[in-house]
Chains A and B, each alone.
Chain A
Amino acid sequence: MEINIREYEGGKVIAVSGEIDLYSSPLLRKQLMVFVKKKESPLLVDFGGVSYIDSSGIATFVEGLKGVMSFGGRMKMFGIRPAIMEIFSFSKLDKVFEIYGTIDDAADSR
């Protein structure tokens, strides 16, 4: 798994790629918590490069979302591949996470 951070229209984008599992999710959690601590919002998560996610990866994002919501912020995901989306849907988390097709859709949403 790789994590890259970039700016987009004044907000932070976390671009995650590769496989998110029990091995890699602690690194992702650490990065998400840095942004939670800094109260970054909206936090845009680029899922375009994510090829796999397990329950530990999902739990990491749930924790990140709760952290962001604790200060009234928002976390928005975009670019999720169908195979990953299927896992979110099965977990009923597609109703919990803010999910958009593109970065522009995510950034423009109110």
Chain B
Amino acid sequence: MFRLIFQRLLALVPLLFIVSVLTFSFTSLLPSDPVDLILGDTGTDEQHEMLRERMGLNEPIYLRYLQWLGRAVQGDLGNSFFNSVSVMDAVMQRLPVTLSLTAISALIAIVVGISAGVVAALRPRSWVDRLATLGATFGQAIPNFWFGLILVAIFAVNLRWFPATGFTPITNAPWEWLRSSILPSIALGTASSAAIARQVRSAMVGVLQQDYIRAARAQGLSARRVLFKHALTNAMVPVVAVLSFQITVLLGGALIVEQVFAINGLGTLAIAAVRQQDIPMLQGLVLVMVGLVVIVQLATDIIYGLLNPKARPT
């Protein structure tokens, strides 16, 4: 097991290196000149030239990349062009918000997806199966932000069960945190629930036809034990393989759903950074997100190895 973790960690090095090169070179392609952005129309040509020199913009790009990378691995992602706040601070301040939404929606997606998939697989072609399949088909076609709007209209504006906008940090008031996260997380998690349900259903239908399921029943193990231990463990193997992708999708979706609920997360930061051509902010956002995705991938790889002995290195 440790070998597996070690192997995965090792494989991350080239990935993170390439991500950093791509991020840096792409953001360097931004059409605007940072010096113009910072000084605006004010300032003399000398002042412009001085700032240019001070920011190191006259140096060759590979040198600037190395300097940037050197600071980035130490946790310094530079300062925003727009308001000179530290990118790391700005991102870390918003991160818990986006992370809350992603985590709760992932939990919803996993619980709903697996239960619906299993129930559907137990009775293929029954009405439960048809209903689950229909729900999954619809779930994948509904835009998360539109679903958010509808949820707000029904449960916040009409029924007043949940706040329509805003986000309460968990450290302030855990109950309010849950209340403010639940609608955005449902909006966000629906499509992933649908995707996971479809995956679970097809995996489970396949596993239930396997010899070892019949063999386990033939040895007298109870239907429930065979289903939840023997079948589900195997059915989860392909599901876990797509889980990290779904969580990546949720993280991206959170950027948009946040806008519906006027939640001040990474999404608002990213949109502002695009509008303001804030290069360090965009770079920082991409790196932090890749970091999160990589952690999720590592976790799912480990779970995959636990579920599927064949995937473990020998």
Co-complex (A, B): no
